[in-house]
Structure 1
Amino acid sequence: MDLGFHPYSKSNQLAGHQKEKDTPKFKVQKPRKNRKPKSNKNVEMFHNRKVPHWKQRDAVNRKTANQTLRFYGEACAICGDPNYQLHHIQHKGYGIGGRGVWRNLVPLCELHHTGAEGVHTIKAFDQFWKDKHDKLFGPHYFKDRWDLWMEGLIENPTEELYEKFMQSQERR
């Protein structure tokens, strides 16, 4: 009688316990019926033209900043401090309508912009700039070419027609 240990082979041990590995089953996606194509809801259309987003129209680029500085000089418009910040006279933002055009900007130092004597703290001071630009450039000083075109004041939103309209408003 042999009482020695005789282990089963690995295949005999696992027989019946392992399932054969199946290849993964991929579901074929069927196209959904009655599904509308995705559309960008942030794009504003007017007379079949895409109008740029208000955030792009409120931004101040280098060309616009240089035009403002040519008009006012490269310093604060009040005290002449060479460290200036560009202030939107008609504030930009959600439907307010102040655009990043040079007629809507004025260079102000930190004290006169956001400080204790600034336009953001003293509302009468802010109104002073609005009245001044209204007299200098007309009632549409804060609008860009897209605003004027959507209001029907110019035929097309081109730079030439925009400048021509704004110069006619300045002469009044």
Structure 2
Amino acid sequence: MLNEFNPVPKPVKVDKKLKPYMKQRPRKKKKPKKNTNVTMYHNRKIPHWKQRGEVSRKEGNEALRHYGECCAVCGNPDFQLHHIVHKGYGIGGRGKWRNLVPLCLFHHTGEKGVHTIVAFDQYWKELHAKKFGPHFFKDQWDLWMGGLISSPTEKLFERFMQGEEERLTNIGGN
């Protein structure tokens, strides 16, 4: 019988990650990741430094209300918000409006920008320290851990920062 029915065998399921010539390996159990992003201080969880450096819409709008919706140097309406004290590595500036200034691309990262010229970067740091006090780049968590406020609430943070501004205007005015 030449016309005998010979069905084609079903293909074997092969793991797509493995090449046909590789053996099927048993899957390893994944170890649960330790949450290294949580820092505890006096039995309170403190947000990660990256999260604290992010600029919220509220903080960005407050910085723009203070400086206007354009570059603080040249008035260009195409701007980026610059962290005066940079965000880096846990000890840097936070995403609070007192630590922000709107700068155009040229004055932010250009050849005469704050990320290029150290003196220009220092100018903004000194200006904000004179305007808002030495803690202008901190958030409520930094002030609380430094013993400057009794609890890390937004209300106590703003009261402290406004007190610093008033103190500086009284010193400068006398």
Pair in the same fold by TM > 0.5: yes
Kindly provide the CA deviation profile for residues 8-47 of structure 1, in whole angstroms up to 9, marking residues without a partner as x. xxxxxxxxxxxxxxxxxxxxxxxxxxxxx97523210000
Q: Return the TM-score normalized by structure 2.
A: 0.76
Report the aligned-residue RMSD. Answer: 1.3
* Paired position in structure 2 for 1:90: 85
Please say which structure displays the higher CA radius of gyration.
1
Tell me, in whole angstroms, the C-alpha distance in 1 between the residues paired with 2:51 and 2:91: 14
* Paired position in structure 2 for 1:133: 128
Kindly provide the CA deviation profile for residues 80-139 of structure 1, in whole angstroms up to 9, marking residues without a partner as x. 000000000000010332000000000000000000110000000000000000000000
Q: Indicate which of 131, 138, 148 corresponds to 2:143.
A: 148
Q: Indicate which of 154, 165, 168 corresponds to 2:163.
A: 168
Q: Indicate which of 48, 66, 71 corresponds to 1:71.
A: 66
* Paired position in structure 1 for 2:110: 115
* Paired position in structure 2 for 1:81: 76
* Paired position in structure 1 for 2:45: 50
Asked if structure 1 preserves the Cα contact closer than 8 Å seen for 2:50 and 2:90, the reply is no
Identity %: 70
Q: Return the TM-score normalized by structure 1.
A: 0.77
Pick closer, same or farther for the CA change 1:116–1:38 going to 2, 3 Å: closer
Kindly provide the CA deviation profile for residues 132-167 of structure 1, in whole angstroms up to 9, marking residues without a partner as x. 000000000000000000111000000110000000
- What code does the residue aligned with 1:47 have? H
Deviation at 1:171, TM superposition (A): 1.1
- Match of 2:88, SS? coil
Asked if structure 1 preserves the Cα contact closer than 8 Å seen for 2:144 and 2:151, the reply is yes
Pick closer, same or farther for the CA change 1:116–1:46 going to 2, 3 Å: same
Q: Indicate which of 112, 119, 125 corresponds to 1:124.
A: 119
5+ residue gaps, structure 2, are 1-31, 168-174
* Paired position in structure 2 for 1:21: none
Asked if structure 1 preserves the Cα contact closer than 8 Å seen for 2:84 and 2:121, the reply is yes
